Amino acid sequence: MVGGGNSALEEAVSLTKYASKVTIVHQFDKFQAFEHAIEEAKANPKIHFVMESTIIAFHGMDNLESVDIKNLVSGETKKFKTDGTFIFIGYIPNTNFLKDRVELNKWGEIVVKSDMSTSVEGVYAAGDSTTKRFRQVTTAVGDGTVAALAASNYLYELKVKQKQLITV
């Protein structure tokens, strides 16, 4: 697991249900997560910590086999065998093309209301790129359902309005 925030630590604890050993690689000497998340991870005997370090290379043929971990203080690099790597070091939503068109927050996430409508009438958004607390497949799918129903309703109301205008 790469990262030191809440997501990294919580997912590391989650992974211990399936993995015999989970190693958290973090670039700083302290975590940025909530205290309870840090305590839970530290109390888990399957979790190991490699602090002030970063992965500089991934190796493998069909699957990942090892990574090179560089200690940022000593500069020393070690090969580390692993079956998988989960990266939780934050993300940048690919929403640049919406800048100045749809309201985004300071992290570039699309600001949505509860029906997934955006600042622009008729434009709906769903999933990880929107302002939300929990980013999971199930919440993205739920957002998509709400956005599709709201968009469909918007089109229906638009048609009704147009019909009324024609009648008048």
Residue nearer to ligand FAD on the CB measure, 69 or 126: 126
Q: Cβ contacts of residue 63 below 8 Å, gap of 6+? A: 83
77/132 with CB nearer ligand FAD: 132
Q: How far is the CB of 73 from ligand FAD (least distance, A)?
A: 27
Instruction: Closer to ligand FAD by CB, 44 or 85: give it.
Output: 85
Contacts 24+ apart (CB under 8 A), 92-100: 93/128, 93/129, 94/129, 95/129
Distance between CA atoms of residues 155 and 168, nearest Å = 20
DSSP 3-state of 166: helix
DSSP state of 48: E
Residue with the CB atom nearest ligand FAD in the bound state: 127
User: Shortest approach of ligand FAD to residue 61 CB, angstroms?
Assistant: 21
Shortest Cβ 50–ligand FAD spacing (Å): 18
In the complex, the smallest distance separating the C-beta of residue 94 from ligand FAD, rounded to whole angstroms, is: 4
10/31 Cα distance (integer angstroms): 12
DSSP letters for 90-121:
----S-GGGTTTS-B-TTSPBP--TT-B-SST
Residue 44 CB, shortest distance to ligand FAD, in Å, is 18
CA 71, CA 84: separation in Å to the nearest integer?
20
Q: By C-beta, is 94 or 162 nearer to ligand FAD?
A: 94
Provide the binding-site residues for ligand FAD, judged by CB under 6 A.
86-87, 94, 127-128, 135-138, 140
Nearer to ligand FAD, 71 or 140 (CB): 140
